[in-house]
Chain A
């Protein structure tokens, strides 16, 4: 006997007036339970990047009382008995909806199989060893990674004609490079419900509502049991049973504060129109947050292709500013063998435009680290600031023209350069040819991180190309660097002699092969938000307060 079944069974057997139709309905429900598949395997949440806008960017108080994105979705279809819910929710529903939003498709557009992403093609694209036995599901990340890497064909090209087995060995995915995903981001997680940990984050109604209010559907994993399986009502679902519980992937397509007793989310399923309320269901806010949703993601379609990386000495565009982060390296400081956190860092940022960038424009360069899976965790390691506020202007190499370390109230530890940067020249080159190495001590971080040089972090210079202001230091293939108590465990790809031979500037970890890594735009968005909220100022103040007076070591 089972918890939920106890009272339900009493309902069935205990009611003398229970009609034949009722009983038939219940039997049908029971059969339905056996027919429809689920198929979500738990994702490795700790290695999926958190959205940098942790709770959306909408003002909770100004959120509309209801939102529906249902008209952006293709008609509800059924996954049948196969455990392909992830392919259906990610491909057929979610990806098709992202396309519909981007291309402003109508209902008739959405009804065309040629516009619907094929769940079968997406399923075939997922490596067999990542799937459960037979059709027993897969984690979202594998489906999304497949969409990022190769896209998926349309339902017209690859119809959903599963033949009793989900084995992909006999056929291969077609893919479609015009139907790819750019990235996906975690927005909420309940690791307790997923039985993988205790972390619960982002499980607030406003978090989900704000994304939906921005027109962004949400894909999520749910815990579903017997009552959910047999649901056929437009009422608000607020409690489940205990039988046949499993993970199931679905899409959040709207919300309505007036539904049920506390408001409800609208959830789209892939069990056909006969299930639920024409294939969808209203789920009570509180139930959704506490007992239903295991974790949730948003995703983006690719933007227009990024501009090509300018390589010195490209002829600078006329009358423009452009800062190019061309190179950076970071390595252990051999002169401090007793301190494994002691490191040296150098960078090259060029004026790639045609206009001289003046000290009086007061701009700067950050060297920072951020958590590879939650960029909200970042700190500044080093700051190089160009300003006319202190010292005399630098005019030739070896001029002592940088800041007054003794002025502790403003510039402790930072480098305040009174220096103009001419077109084609490297920032700092006026001080010493070949630049400097800066010693620093890595904070005591543990986990997977990236190091990045970010030029003009406050965006005070109006550049012709804002996308080349980053230079990332990563492990091979754009993978994050591993740290343990501040000691780097992995070797940076861009270190030492090899790095100096690098020909292609890496302005994004995505370019280096980490396809779902944070884009520079996301880092910019994060810093912009934190600048607005004052968080960035606090981090800068913390850095300046704690930084030791920096000595520059002239490169040999």
Chain B
């Protein structure tokens, strides 16, 4: 079953973005605790991970949606928003969150998500704003290498308990890593920041690498702390 959709898609698609999948079907699958694996799919409708199942109250203010299975997609096109939050509700991902070489045509918002698995958006394209604020990622690697962000992308106040990579990424809009904590290495080599950048109050437990990095505007590195 976990691979049914994957197989179905891989068998019937021959080129990028040929198969159409409804966002609500993805959520249904995740609700059953089954992993979603897609390739060359076009996803229609808003994909809101916080729609999954019943929200569990966290304290008196918040509620948590919980995705227990892995999410993997490769060469996917998301025609509508991809989000993982609501007012006073966030999403916890127990497994991996992988969007490899995918295209996001509308906004992306993973604010407040808590992710225990791998995070990988390598070579993905964000055509609209992408917000990853106040996330907590517990895995060893969060990979945004070679991504292209056409508009604003921000990771404000997020914490990464492993490494975080923007290697060879291209940012056409603004980029913010304000008050972010990276326990491991922050890798920004060859990244091209075409918009304004904010690294204020960034803390890293490992190295922060900016070799061959291009900045169109002077970056804000105020109050940053690099332990090594």
Contact = CB atoms under 8 A, between A and B. Distances in A.
A2 B58 CA distance: 7
A129 to B, nearest CB: 30
Interface residues of A, number: 26
Contacts of B134: 3-4, 6-7, 239, 241
A226 to B, nearest CB: 11
A479 B59 CA distance: 47
Contacts of B136: 6-7, 10
B188 interface: no
Interface in B123-144: 133-136, 138
Given A2-B59, A17-B227, A235 B198 contact: yes
Contacts of A334: none
B62 A17 contact: no
A262 B174 contact: yes
A239 B156 contact: yes
B11 interface: no
A1 B195 CA distance: 35
Contact of A238 (B90, B114, B178, B205): B178
Nearest to A242: B61
B222 A234 contact: yes
A225 to B, nearest CB: 11
Given A8-B157, A17-B227, A235-B178, A3 B222 contact: no
Interface in A1-58: 1-4, 6-8, 10-11, 14-17
A3 B112 contact: yes
A227 interface: yes
B62 A7 contact: no
- Interface of B, secondary structure class, is loop
Nearest to B112: A3
A16 B59 contact: no
Nearest to A235: B200
Contacts of A236: 178, 198, 200, 220
Nearest to B89: A3
B58 A1 contact: yes
Contact of A6 (B112, B183, B200): B112
B183 A262 contact: no
B175 interface: yes
B161 A260 contact: no
Contacts of B200: 233-236
A239 B133 contact: yes
- Interface of A, secondary structure class, is loop
A222 to B, nearest CB: 18
A260 B219 CA distance: 9
A27 B220 CA distance: 26
Given A1-B62, A236-B200, A261-B195, A10 B159 contact: yes
B62 A261 contact: no
Contact of A3 (B62, B178, B220): B62
A238 B176 contact: yes
- Tell me which of A2, A14, A17, A235 has the highest count of chain B C-beta atoms within 10 A of its own C-beta: A235
Nearest to B63: A3
Interface in A212-258: 227, 233-236, 238-239, 241-243
A242 B62 CA distance: 9
Contacts of A239: 133-134, 154, 156-157, 178
A316 B161 CA distance: 84
B25 interface: no
Contacts of B154: 238-239, 261
B39 interface: no
B152 interface: yes
A50 B26 CA distance: 47
B96 interface: no
Contacts of A17: 205, 227
A260 B181 contact: no
Contact of A2 (B62, B114, B157, B196): B62
B5 interface: no
Contacts of B61: 2-3, 242-243
Contacts of B201: 233, 235
Contacts of B213: none
B176 A261 contact: yes
A238 B156 contact: yes
A8 B159 contact: yes
Interface string B184-206: 00000000000111101101010
Given A233-B222, A239-B133, A260-B198, A6 B157 contact: no
A183 to B, nearest CB: 36
Contact of B220 (A11, A227, A242, A260): A260
A227 B157 contact: yes
B183 A15 contact: yes
B211 interface: no
Nearest to A7: B136
Interface of B: 58-59, 61-62, 88, 90, 112, 114, 133-136, 138, 152, 154, 156-159, 161, 174-176, 178-179, 181, 183, 195-198, 200-201, 203, 205, 220, 222-223, 227
Given A8-B159, A10-B138, A239-B156, 7 more contacts: A4-B157, A14-B161, A235-B200, A238-B156, A238-B178, A239-B133, A262-B152
- In the A-B complex, list the 4 residue pairs whose CB atoms are closest, starting with the nearest: A235-B200, A261-B174, A7-B136, A261-B196
